[in-house]
Structure 1
Amino acid sequence: IIIVNGLTSFLLLITYRVMIKYFFLYIKNLNLDKKKVIIYGAGEAGLATKRTFDHDAKVNKTIISFLDDDERKVGKTIDGIKILGAKKLEALIAEHEVDEIIFASYTIPVERKNQIVDVCLENDVAVLNIPPADVWAKGKISTAQIQNINIEDLLNRKPIQINIDGIQSELKDKRILITGAAGSIGSEVVRQLMKFETGLIILCDQSETALHNIYLELEETHTTTNFHAFVGDVRDEVRMDYLFETYKPHYVYHAAAYKHVPLMEDNPAEAIKTNVMGTKTIADMAVKHGVQKFVMISTDKAVNPTNVMGASKRIAEIYVQSLNNSLSTNNFIFSNGLSYINDLNVKPITKFITTRFGNVLGSNGSVIPRFKQQIEKGGPVTVTHPEITRYFMTIPEACRLVLEAGCMGKGGEIFIFDMGKSVKIVELAKKMIRLAGLEPNQDIQISYSGLRPGEKLFEELLNDNENTMPTHHEKIMIGRVREYVFSEIESQIYTLLQHAKQNDDRQVVIAMKMLVKEYKSKNSVFEELDNPA
């Protein structure tokens, strides 16, 4: 009797739970205010998306259809839902008054995504995205993770492939120094390097808080302890000499720099102290302490510069490239900070490599985070000029190419990255507003503030006298640039730094224009120096 009673109770409990589940599903399906949803992608991720909704009683959605570009899937069904061809999108939206479309595939080309998003935005259909593949793979699935698509998802290109084995072979057991390690680019270089079997990774930055944050992140995400945080300013020659003497790095990735154009236009001396003197200090220490490779991270703003920041980075490029060319000869005589090299018993071995690319998505102070903040506050979204365009690349993408270029470099090259198509900033702003479910110039105003001091309408990756050669990587080219005599450059930079140390901004800019003949100021108080009376 006890056994029978136990079995009966168990069966009744199971029956009760099943009935409750189906009761809630029934109530859910009776709801007439359900959002009508299309799932774009009829693969495993699409099926997982549907079932995630099915098992969440709080979700008030109904799946109208799956869409897929794969004709082999069209006409079939998944969990009772028919798969239609992607060409049916507009017809489905009109017929069913669709509320949302969810991208549930990781293989949709960005161009195709943008086409679909444009159709959806024209028809007031919200666009959502499933979380990254590794989240799904770990089984951490919830409807809360299916969120509005980000503008970054529509600017990203297909993942760039790099020579992982080649980089691993090059960097294995090497001690590596990253300057500016707490910045947007420097910190991502650190994250990428942590994936390889390197020796000690030294993170150098002057910002205590930012350096502390990246250090804590590494502690939380890695079990290894092959990294060390070093607080120091690249302009401090004594401190940097101590850094190199203590840790003896094999490789240096030099990311420390001032980057904000309008701010540097108002502070030329400071731009030179960090971007030129700081680069010179690290480059000189690399030679003195036998660093094998020095990889400098530059910018497209160094090309035909119209502002102090871009010109300062071009001078830094010129210094490291001419230094490399001088070291590669058998007869070299150095003065100023490198005079000790003349007394070395062995020839310096350092190879200097420069990488040049445009804006990166999501970097501190960049346009996309600023637009997001302005939209959240209700506007207006400020664009400097209706015709302004920019190149964009994701930070991880740029840093992977930095590692690839650093490994392939033999010394003296300026590697230029394929940035894809330039983007009109006002169109970027409009799309971001629409992705937020709002209408440009109705819900959120777009205002034009005028070009900022030193700002260009468009950026360039090569100047008028430069061209490129291909490399084995389709996204990396070598710029053929003018070569400079190091002794002349060293002398001119010495004069430039003296003006910077005296905080004489006018003389600083005059000296910069002597060094970089193509530097022509725009929207700047320094325009008068290009056309003296």
Structure 2
Amino acid sequence: MPLNFNIEKFTGTHITRRPQSLFLPDMETHAEKLHTEIKDKNVLVIGGAGTIGSSFIRTLVRYHPGKLIVVDINENGLTELVRDCRSRPELQMPDNFKTYPVNFSDKAFRKIFEHEGPFDIVANFAAHKHVRSEKDIFSIEAMVENNVTRAKDLLELLTQYPPRHFFCVSTDKAANPVNVMGASKKLMEEVILAYSGKMKITTARFANVAFSNGSLLAGFIERLLKQQPLACPSDVKRFFVSPEESGQICLCACILGQSGEIFFPKLEPSSMVNFADIVPPFLNEMGFEMEACSSEDAAKQATADIQNGRYPVYFFPSSTNGEKLYEEFYTEEEELDTRSFQSFGTVKNAKRRSIEDLDKIVHTLRLVFEDARAEKKDIVSALNAMIPGFEHIETGVNLDQKM
């Protein structure tokens, strides 16, 4: 892979087609408030080793927080976060900067929280984000536990030491969800908004982050490094933001939003990009011509052509569970504010439940998971009853069955 491949530059040129960050005007307009609310403050970032969490951190430290504590279960990811941040000439990390490879539901986390706190800003990026993580009842239990139950437990802890700003990342798939991941994120939104009267809480729904960890585009890089064929859906279009933009929208939502608001990017439908259209310029950037193949087997057999400058790619129509062929950032029932910011919109009246109602929902979900005879369809039925309009798309095929 060429050493001069720049993800942000490639993303701006071939995917988002934006010469600068979409959110830069709002960040410049509100620079004084961002500095005031962040400078010398104590910050806790949960799930900070992932693409969005680390981008949030790189944006945050430009405003000079006094203390930064980062926790994530990915020990290797935390190592790379430190190396990356300390290697960037434009970044100055706080003197009090620590990373801990722990789960935010562990007893060790509570000890860290109590020892290092109180915190002025808490941001949570720990989540199951892949639709592939709903293949059966077991994977769904882990997803719901992480996205819903642990988020609620965290909020209970925070009520004892309320931060000035609490942010928890959501997803566009929470608007009119068609998969369990999106449904779990919709419940997560309702969980955090239930506590928005006890502390300032905001969230954000936004687009695919180009080349984020575990994404299809990041997988392209891995395949090239291993000289393996690429596989790409031929019919899926998505909105995209760059890694830098993902951190910026989260920071702005965290600091500039009012409690209970959901931020989303102002993106026109014409800016959606077909995954298949990204493949030719990506391969050209790497010095290859694309060789379209008719099947996974044909693509595997064609790897011999890589030495001749032709790279095998298998394009396939999407057929997996919960795959939405379009994206939404809000629903028809939600009240929108599109005037307060140039590049963001906000949902003002997102559905809230009482904490007591959410306790009942969590209890109901746990009863399903504790039933040894329960299957995926049982948890889908339970979620259907909890989330009006949830219509799961079941095809019998999951992403782990594809190349």
Give TM class, smaller chain.
0.7 to 0.9
User: Which secondary structure state, in structure 1, belongs to the residue aligned with residue 336 of structure 2?
Assistant: strand
User: Which secondary structure state, in structure 2, belongs to the residue aligned with residue 400 of structure 1?
Assistant: helix
1:293 equivalent in alignment to 2:165: yes
The Cα shift of 1:372 comes to 4.0
**Equivalent residue number for residue 155 of structure 1:** 15
The Cα shift of 1:219 comes to 4.6
Q: C-alpha offsets along residues 491-517 of structure 1, whole Å, 9 cap, x if unaligned? A: 212322444466855443333222212
Q: In the aligned structure 2, how far is the partner of 1:505 from the partner of 1:206?
A: 28
**Equivalent residue number for residue 66 of structure 2:** 199
Select 1:488's aligned residue among 352, 357, 377.
357
**Equivalent residue number for residue 208 of structure 1:** 75
1:354 equivalent in alignment to 2:223: no
Distance 1:246 1:418, change over 3 A: same
**Equivalent residue number for residue 392 of structure 1:** 240
Distance 1:154 1:497, change over 3 A: same
Residue identity matched to 1:155: I
Q: Is the 8 A contact 2:261 2:346 kept in 1?
A: yes
Q: Relative contact order, CA 8 A, sep 6+: which one is greater?
A: 2
Q: In the aligned structure 1, how far is the partner of 2:351 from the partner of 2:4?
A: 52
**Equivalent residue number for residue 289 of structure 2:** 438
**Equivalent residue number for residue 130 of structure 2:** 260
Select 1:167's aligned residue among 21, 34, 59.
34
The gaps in structure 2 that reach 5 residues or longer are 294-309, 398-403
Select 1:320's aligned residue among 177, 192, 196.
192
Q: C-alpha offsets along residues 329-356 of structure 1, whole Å, 9 cap, x if unaligned? A: xxxxxxxxxxxxxxxxxxx4x1111111
Q: C-alpha offsets along residues 365-413 of structure 1, whole Å, 9 cap, x if unaligned? A: 21222234446666643223x3211111011112112111222222011
Residue identity matched to 2:200: K
**Equivalent residue number for residue 101 of structure 2:** 231
User: Which secondary structure state, in structure 1, belongs to the residue aligned with residue 195 of structure 2?
Assistant: helix
1:477 equivalent in alignment to 2:345: yes
The Cα shift of 1:232 comes to 2.1
The Cα shift of 1:270 comes to 0.4
The Cα shift of 1:475 comes to 1.3
Q: Is the 8 A contact 1:268 1:509 kept in 2?
A: no
Residue identity matched to 1:414: I
The Cα shift of 1:188 comes to 1.5
User: Which secondary structure state, in structure 1, belongs to the residue aligned with residue 66 of structure 2?
Assistant: coil
Residue identity matched to 1:166: K
- After TM superposition, the structure 1 = structure 2 runs for residues 125-164 of structure 1, keeping only pairs within 5 Å, are 150=10, 153-156=13-16, 157=18, 158-159=20-21, 160-161=23-24, 162=27, 163-164=30-31
Q: In the aligned structure 2, how far is the partner of 1:431 from the partner of 1:438?
A: 9
The Cα shift of 1:166 comes to 1.5
**Equivalent residue number for residue 300 of structure 2:** none
The Cα shift of 1:268 comes to 0.6
**Equivalent residue number for residue 189 of structure 1:** 56
Select 1:509's aligned residue among 360, 380, 385.
380
**Equivalent residue number for residue 110 of structure 2:** 241
Q: Is the 8 A contact 1:234 1:279 kept in 2?
A: no
Aligned-residue sequence identity (percent) comes to 24
The Cα shift of 1:307 comes to 1.2
Q: In the aligned structure 1, how far is the partner of 2:190 from the partner of 2:238?
A: 24
Q: In the aligned structure 2, how far is the partner of 1:262 from the partner of 1:146?
A: 28
Q: Is the 8 A contact 2:55 2:246 kept in 1?
A: no
The Cα shift of 1:277 comes to 1.2
**Equivalent residue number for residue 134 of structure 1:** none
Alpha carbon RMSD of aligned pairs, Å?
2.8
Select 1:405's aligned residue among 247, 250, 253.
253
**Equivalent residue number for residue 400 of structure 2:** none
1:458 equivalent in alignment to 2:326: yes
Q: In the aligned structure 2, how far is the partner of 1:428 from the partner of 1:218?
A: 28
The gaps in structure 1 that reach 5 residues or longer are 1-128, 130-143, 328-347, 527-533
Distance 1:146 1:189, change over 3 A: closer
User: Which of the two has higher C-alpha Rg?
Assistant: 1
Q: Is the 8 A contact 2:47 2:126 kept in 1?
A: yes
Select 2:180's aligned residue among 308, 318, 323.
308
Q: Is the 8 A contact 2:177 2:390 kept in 1?
A: yes
**Equivalent residue number for residue 113 of structure 1:** none
Residue identity matched to 1:365: G
Residue identity matched to 2:363: Y
Q: In the aligned structure 1, how far is the partner of 2:180 from the partner of 2:46?
A: 21
Q: Is the 8 A contact 1:234 1:274 kept in 2?
A: no
Distance 1:213 1:498, change over 3 A: farther
Q: Is the 8 A contact 2:11 2:210 kept in 1?
A: no
The Cα shift of 1:170 comes to 1.0
Select 2:156's aligned residue among 284, 287, 291.
284
Q: In the aligned structure 1, how far is the partner of 2:191 from the partner of 2:325?
A: 28
Distance 1:191 1:501, change over 3 A: farther
User: Which secondary structure state, in structure 2, belongs to the residue aligned with residue 201 of structure 1?
Assistant: strand
Q: In the aligned structure 1, how far is the partner of 2:367 from the partner of 2:44?
A: 28
Select 1:519's aligned residue among 390, 394, 397.
390
**Equivalent residue number for residue 301 of structure 2:** none
Q: Is the 8 A contact 1:180 1:186 kept in 2?
A: yes
User: Which secondary structure state, in structure 1, belongs to the residue aligned with residue 157 of structure 2?
Assistant: helix
**Equivalent residue number for residue 305 of structure 2:** none
Q: Is the 8 A contact 2:41 2:121 kept in 1?
A: yes
The Cα shift of 1:203 comes to 0.0
Q: In the aligned structure 2, how far is the partner of 1:524 from the partner of 1:147?
A: 37
Distance 1:468 1:219, change over 3 A: same
Select 1:425's aligned residue among 262, 266, 275.
275
